[in-house]
Structure 1
């Protein structure tokens, strides 16, 4: 949708006065700074709240995105600019203001904690605002080594470092929303945080972060890698790998702040590839269970029903792992050798837990062809099993709605992608045409996709408003209960299935496992 000349919308907030852009029925404010530049002495330090702007701020252009290696799978936008000074957010709202404050949806983008940004074209909030009449906020946070490398164990009084920086960026952005969103028409008492992949992992982490209490009131986690988090010892090993790769001597650690940002990105990518090569299924960069900000492993906290008691929508996609195979990504163990190594590593990671037998696990995939068996196991270890455990446990303290996205067009099935990782994003956001040379509709299927997208946007925004997502004329979507375990399967025709994951639970068991 092209921007057109109109009276510029103005929002006057405690953070300053912002001049945005008026689109048909929607106002958008771009590139709003919520933290000071995390550069120089602030590299690898906690974020600092941005000072209130004295003069009116031109909020008509997205701010820079976090430094990263360009990834052909991600359309970052034609005007994307990379800069270490990247802590900005964007706001979409209905153009016609109303007296009643509107629900707010705060988006955390995905990208394996190493890629992506809040300003990707697929995350344009216009369609979501049209569907739900609420306010949409998308947030940049530090990624890769700049956001997830934990150098805190190397800190000295003269050379201090902090950890869990990206998570702290997000907490600071949520504080910004609490203080300022009412000036955009939003209700600070009805904030839903939602995200996919790494963003979904951040959402489930927030649910287990005590200091996040009160900053959001509902949560949506799409394809959360909730168990892909590690403790301080593992974080230090990754930090040592990074320092070695970057040629930084531990005796002169202060020089790490002088590295050119391009060198930081290069070393990030080297470690990003090396860690899963050594331990299949392991991420190099992720939030850290530090015993402080994140006291315990989030999946364990949520499975035990000890998370923040806010309603949750959570789910995965039918063919999560196919994307990683297609992209030849190092992140997902899909070969038989990788799966065998992962099982061995699981035993080492869970020395006091009776693991399911290999025979029992393989029984979960009865009838699955050997060629795709690894894809199924990788998909379930990374995404579906943690999601099931979280739905089961969190339903004891708050309403939970569980889904699985199964829809794929004929072209995507023929390519072998199916309903892969991230496939639901275009439908959730109502942006079906943002990827150049996208093959999705080469063989048709556009009209059914539009209807699916409309239903999903209605469900997602109804949930964010404080209602049940069971609001369409399609399949009934009841809240998850441990007895019936009903799941909404999203497809050309939605359907509700009781205990969709019975075979998985039987094979893998209901205990949260620490995966490598």
Structure 2
């Protein structure tokens, strides 16, 4: 797959040629610097250049391994290393802890498509590893010759706050780097109990930063970007953070974190509007449950927790449930809810794009054989759970929008789309009260697995945004329309990363800024277009039945 730019024979020939020139009294020509060798503030990195010319620097350590005494602590910067460090293979993912939200068993063709799209790199442990604080960089040029002018796009992976990793197939940044001349960074960080156990804010002595260690990891990765990305041709003054699902919620949270202020300049939230963090009280209850489950006490936790095995900790955490571990309010790291009751003042001048997919929840129901047997009665019951007393109106509104939807697909609208519209357009409305622009979108392009049964599900937009449609044809499709939409969407995201305004991307219709009154929203599909006041009747009901912390799915 990859090959170095210079081999030993080429170096020897170059040296001989230089010696010949010097012997003749001529001025020796300059030898081009090796683009796979980059100097950073933490030492020299040796990457690789792929056959298509993209420079990869993989498994780059940005913080010390959070092991032993550093477990459940804020991240610590690593020491500068004198020796050249190999950056040629992906680092391990964080310890994984599935949330249980996914389909129990995907139908065969859906499973094949998901396996293709979300394939991990070779050599990655399925269970993950506590030694995970590494990032990946994809670039076209490096060194002083590169010029620190390219927009930097930092990807935050999905999987809630429980699982996931930066190196999955459709998350890789080769095509954005090669085709759009950006510098792409993917980040691994601590997850689940290892990243979000609020020992410090619960008053357990001996811990600092544990409540939101996973978010502080991302902050340290962004500090690495600030300090080093110019060596990869990136502009440290033009950094965009973007993420999907849990990654979108991480973006939402970073917008309100004082430690992240100034480290990025644009933000994109995909299917992950995060309005509220967990309360300090709920986080403290989680700590108490964990300590009791382990059979230790708050007074000896600082001595005991660094010595326990990963599995000892996980076994108790699994009994508690993955959803107990997520960002929470703490005085130092996250002093307020990200977007409740309003948008955070610190990010008032940061433009954002925010959106979700047309059929978010199909991905989480397609593995249930009872789903396709959904009745009209069940749709109405679910709609009444979404909007008590308004179920019939919600159902009628979605039937008007999607008259060809069978009950099982309509069920996804009255549940998933209702919640997504509530959370995403609430966040967008609050952000629109600030100076920087907000651009709302819905991915409405159906994808092919299992005869299009998923329609446009959660995660569907990722290969289109990444210019990776051709890397996942079973999942994303391989028609001219699929490929063209991928080119349009990736160009749109890059245009936003360059300028803070998606308008100007080739082929993109004029996209107005979001405002709370008319809510203009770009629908990405074969013929992309802006709709004003989308789902108007449903939005009216949401305003009278607010659920500001509704998850996106």
- Per the alignment, residue 456 of structure 1 pairs with 489
Which deviations, in whole Å up to 9, do the C-alpha atoms of 1:281-302 show, x marking residues without a partner?
xx32221122432122112154
SS of residue matched to 1:110: coil
- Per the alignment, residue 300 of structure 1 pairs with 340
- Per the alignment, residue 200 of structure 2 pairs with 152
SS of residue matched to 2:423: helix
1:272 and 2:343 aligned: no
SS of residue matched to 2:365: helix
Contact 2:158–2:247, Cα closer than 8 Å, also in 1: yes
Deviation at 1:448, TM superposition (A): 1.6
SS of residue matched to 1:509: helix
1:176 and 2:224 aligned: yes
1:317 and 2:365 aligned: no
Deviation at 1:125, TM superposition (A): 0.6
Which deviations, in whole Å up to 9, do the C-alpha atoms of 1:111-157 show, x marking residues without a partner?
01111111122211111112321111111110111012222245444
TM-score (norm 1): 0.85
Deviation at 1:410, TM superposition (A): 4.2
The equivalences for 1:71-470 within 5 A come to 74-81=118-125, 82-95=128-141, 97-99=145-147, 101-157=149-205, 162-227=210-275, 229-250=277-298, 252-253=300-301, 254-272=303-321, 283-303=323-343, 307-326=347-366, 358-360=388-390, 362-366=392-396, 367-368=398-399, 371-372=408-409, 374-380=411-417, 382-397=419-434, 398-411=436-449, 414=451, 416-432=453-469, 439-440=474-475, 445-470=478-503
SS of residue matched to 1:189: strand
Q: Residues 250 and 89 from structure 1, CA distance in 2 versus in 1: closer, same or farther, beyond 3 angstroms?
A: same
1:67 and 2:84 aligned: no
Deviation at 1:67, TM superposition (A): 1.4
Which deviations, in whole Å up to 9, do the C-alpha atoms of 1:40-97 show, x marking residues without a partner?
0111011001122221111111112111158986432232143211101111111475
Distance of 2:321 and 2:258 partners within structure 1: 29
Deviation at 1:374, TM superposition (A): 4.8
Contact 1:227–1:382, Cα closer than 8 Å, also in 2: no
Q: Residues 338 and 175 from structure 1, CA distance in 2 versus in 1: closer, same or farther, beyond 3 angstroms?
A: farther
- Per the alignment, residue 42 of structure 2 pairs with 15
Distance of 1:161 and 1:305 partners within structure 2: 23
Distance of 1:270 and 1:378 partners within structure 2: 27
SS of residue matched to 2:211: coil
Deviation at 1:461, TM superposition (A): 0.7
- Per the alignment, residue 542 of structure 2 pairs with 508
Q: Residues 35 and 362 from structure 1, CA distance in 2 versus in 1: closer, same or farther, beyond 3 angstroms?
A: farther
Contact 1:210–1:308, Cα closer than 8 Å, also in 2: no
Q: In terms of mean alpha carbon deviation, does 370-379 or 211-220 score higher?
A: 370-379
TM-score (norm 2): 0.80
Deviation at 1:238, TM superposition (A): 2.4
Distance of 2:510 and 2:367 partners within structure 1: 36
Contact 1:17–1:57, Cα closer than 8 Å, also in 2: yes
Contact 1:30–1:63, Cα closer than 8 Å, also in 2: yes
Q: Residues 210 and 512 from structure 1, CA distance in 2 versus in 1: closer, same or farther, beyond 3 angstroms?
A: farther
Distance of 1:204 and 1:104 partners within structure 2: 18
Question: Over aligned residue pairs, what C-alpha RMSD do you find?
Answer: 3.1
1:58 and 2:58 aligned: no
Deviation at 1:244, TM superposition (A): 4.4
1:475 and 2:509 aligned: yes
- Per the alignment, residue 5 of structure 2 pairs with 6
Which deviations, in whole Å up to 9, do the C-alpha atoms of 1:195-233 show, x marking residues without a partner?
111110010111122332211000011111414631111
Contact 1:208–1:302, Cα closer than 8 Å, also in 2: no
Distance of 2:440 and 2:132 partners within structure 1: 34
Structure 2 unaligned runs (5+)? 7-33, 103-110, 369-373, 400-405
Distance of 2:365 and 2:293 partners within structure 1: 27
Which deviations, in whole Å up to 9, do the C-alpha atoms of 1:426-462 show, x marking residues without a partner?
1111223656xx7436xx6532211111111100111
Distance of 1:231 and 1:270 partners within structure 2: 21
SS of residue matched to 1:188: strand
Contact 2:72–2:207, Cα closer than 8 Å, also in 1: no
The structure number with the bigger radius of gyration is: 2
Q: Residues 370 and 418 from structure 1, CA distance in 2 versus in 1: closer, same or farther, beyond 3 angstroms?
A: closer
Q: In terms of mean alpha carbon deviation, does 89-98 or 481-490 score higher?
A: 89-98
Deviation at 1:408, TM superposition (A): 1.2
Distance of 2:249 and 2:206 partners within structure 1: 33
Contact 1:313–1:401, Cα closer than 8 Å, also in 2: yes
Deviation at 1:342, TM superposition (A): 12
Structure 1 unaligned runs (5+)? 274-282, 329-333, 345-355
SS of residue matched to 1:12: strand
- Per the alignment, residue 32 of structure 1 pairs with 60
Distance of 1:59 and 1:159 partners within structure 2: 32
